[in-house]
Structure 1
Amino acid sequence: MAPRHAEAPITVACIQMEPHFGDTARNVATSITMIEQAASQGANLLVLPELCNTGYVFTSRAEAFSLAESIPEGYSTQAWMACAARLNIYLVAGITERDGQSLYNSAVIIGPEGLIGRYRKVHLWADEALYFAPGNLGFPVFSTPLGILGCHICYDCWFPESFRMAALQGAEIVCVPTNWVPIPGQDPQREAMANILVMAAAHSNSIFIAAADRVGTEREQPFIGQSLIVSYTGWPVAGPASEHQSEILLATVNLADAPRHRNWNDFNQLLHDRRPEMYQLPTPPLSPFVR
């Protein structure tokens, strides 16, 4: 793929699908069918859900280990790499990763040329901590002909530092494979809390965000769908998607708009206005952290 022109638009797709637990071959085949559909509509950057190759609700570490794959040698990464090369696309997909004896809730970043990199979920949710090690790669960004990509996974979105780290490293879009679940206290008449957080992060960092969720109920755990693609303004340009159905969201955007519009007026620029010297806790802290 030729180098990106600064003004060249791209088409981003979020693939909202329903993985079936433990059926890796079926899940990868489903993902590839939906990838092909999105690519036929012009998508050249596609995001799939968290752990979409295996499903999410493990009952033991042994079960998670039996379904995990190495990167890039494993079945799922190899299949997605072949698909990306054939369709000339870029792809971010959630995967259960095995690295030696360690397991990670990971995402692969793939282009026509093969594996570009991986991201390991930093903030583990609930009993994920029984199966996975916390991510140890930080918040890397990846330079591609389409633009500069960051990646987070699900619960990472609850931490403003995650998006700020990506923005400070030049990310123009953060791709989020996710498995959002119902949040206690959610007002059914309002946007999902996850969507509100993603919209706020896009606005407060002037970045695009593409969050691909799953749907369905797995081992009695429901998932909420509502994937979306958010502009650097903080407003969705596609979605939220259905709460229950598999769906492809598409949006054509110019990623160069994200850094360009961080200057809000003659005086204010989001990242330049930071005051890191003021972001220090007093010693001792005024109040203890509560767990």
Structure 2
Amino acid sequence: MTAAPRPDRRAPLQAALVQHRDAGSVDANLQVTEDAVAEAAAGGARLVVLAELHTGPYFCQTEDAATFDRAEPIPGPSTRRLGEIARRHGVVLVGSLFERRAPGLYHNTAVVLESDGRLVGTYRKMHIPDDPGYYEKFYFTPGDTGFRPIDTSVGRLGVLVCWDQWYPEAARITALSGAEVLIYPTAIGWDPEDPPDERERQREAWITVQRGHAVANGLPLVACNRTGHERDPSGASAGAHFWGSSFVAGPQGEFLARAGEHAPEVLAFTLDIARVDTVRRMWPFLRDRRIDAYDPILKRYIDPES
């Protein structure tokens, strides 16, 4: 792939994220995406971030082999449509798709489309959850792309996906590889049967850990979530209620923009990439890392006796 031209780091980047609610079909979801991208571009956005698995429902609430029919190759129909949307509106577009890599081999894959419509990079989700209502290990093979930022005309994008957002190692390696912003397409929410205090603890933990990644790495961070209730197709549970709350944090963890909990939203924001250097000079966490002492991090667990 031809490398994108390096952008002017002195100029603030106008961007937007699209907080998503399932519209019922692939075509309907992609039309919602196009309308949202058009709105964002009309407001000056040059980068638009979409939520996790935005072309359909969050299907991992149950295990059903027929659901594999939803997957598609990359490149494929959805990347072509997303590329057309990116080109038509002149934006770099970050999406998320159910990838059919080979018979019996599937991934949860983020895609990056350049403003001319080219597919310039992919990231396969590395951390795969398996919890009630989030049976992703049934569907997705862990990624093998590594934590590699993707070069675009608006900067070097550190794209990760949802469950990756809980792991400081993923954010750190992506930052050490030259990312200029961390981006997390996401599908996360409550069990509707959880009490209100538990719901709030979970949502605040999700926000807090990602703000911590921004601070620890001196990078801005974009978290783009789904919103709304989606039923459990099996009928075994009350379904999932995605909590929205998409947000953007600056390199000191400060909120740059926040969406609401309950409705789809096109959230505009500005990223000052040049400020990363200023913050890292003041808080030189990368300089002071003791890489000579970190070998134990490669162990699954450090037994107290050892």
Q: Give TM-score, length-normalised by structure 1.
A: 0.90
Q: Which residue of 1 aligns with 2:261?
A: 243
- Give RMSD over aligned pairs: 2.2
Show structure 2 runs of 5+ residues with no match.
232-238
Paired letter, 1:5: D
SS state at 1:188 partner: helix
Q: CA deviation at 1:187?
A: 6.5
**2:273 is equivalent to residue 255 of structure 1:** yes
Q: 1:32 aligns with which of 16, 34, 38?
A: 34
Q: Which residue of 2 aligns with 1:271?
A: 286
Q: Which residue of 2 aligns with 1:45?
A: 47
Paired letter, 2:293: M
**2:183 is equivalent to residue 175 of structure 1:** yes
Contact 2:127 2:163 in 1 (8 A): yes
Q: Percent identity?
A: 32
- 1:149-168 correspondence to structure 2 within 5 Å: 149-168=157-176
Contact 1:141 1:149 in 2 (8 A): yes
Q: What CA deviation, in whole Å up to 9, does each residue of 1:165-197 have, x standing for no partner? A: 111011110111001123876463896211111
SS state at 1:262 partner: helix
Q: 1:12 aligns with which of 15, 18, 43?
A: 15
Contact 1:61 1:131 in 2 (8 A): no
SS state at 1:53 partner: coil
Moved more, 183-192 or 92-101: 183-192
In 2: Cα distance, 1:95 partner to 1:259 partner: 33
In 1: Cα distance, 2:10 partner to 2:49 partner: 22
Q: What CA deviation, in whole Å up to 9, does each residue of 1:88-119 have, x standing for no partner? A: 11011111111112111111011123101111
Q: What CA deviation, in whole Å up to 9, does each residue of 1:253-279 have, x standing for no partner? A: 221222342111xxx511111112212
Show structure 1 runs of 5+ residues with no match.
none
**2:133 is equivalent to residue 125 of structure 1:** no
Q: Which residue of 2 aligns with 1:134?
A: 142
Q: CA deviation at 1:287?
A: 3.8
Aligned residues: 282
SS state at 1:263 partner: helix
Paired letter, 1:257: R
* Inter-CA distance 187–61: structure 2 relative to 1 (3 Å threshold): closer
**2:236 is equivalent to residue 221 of structure 1:** no
Question: Which portions of structure 1, spanning 4 or more consecutive aligned residues, are displaced by more than 2 angstroms?
Answer: 57-64, 182-192, 280-288
Q: Which residue of 2 aligns with 1:145?
A: 153
Q: Give TM-score, length-normalised by structure 2.
A: 0.86
In 1: Cα distance, 2:50 partner to 2:94 partner: 6
SS state at 2:164 partner: helix
Paired letter, 2:208: I
SS state at 2:72 partner: coil
Paired letter, 1:121: K
In 1: Cα distance, 2:67 partner to 2:109 partner: 13
In 2: Cα distance, 1:65 partner to 1:259 partner: 44
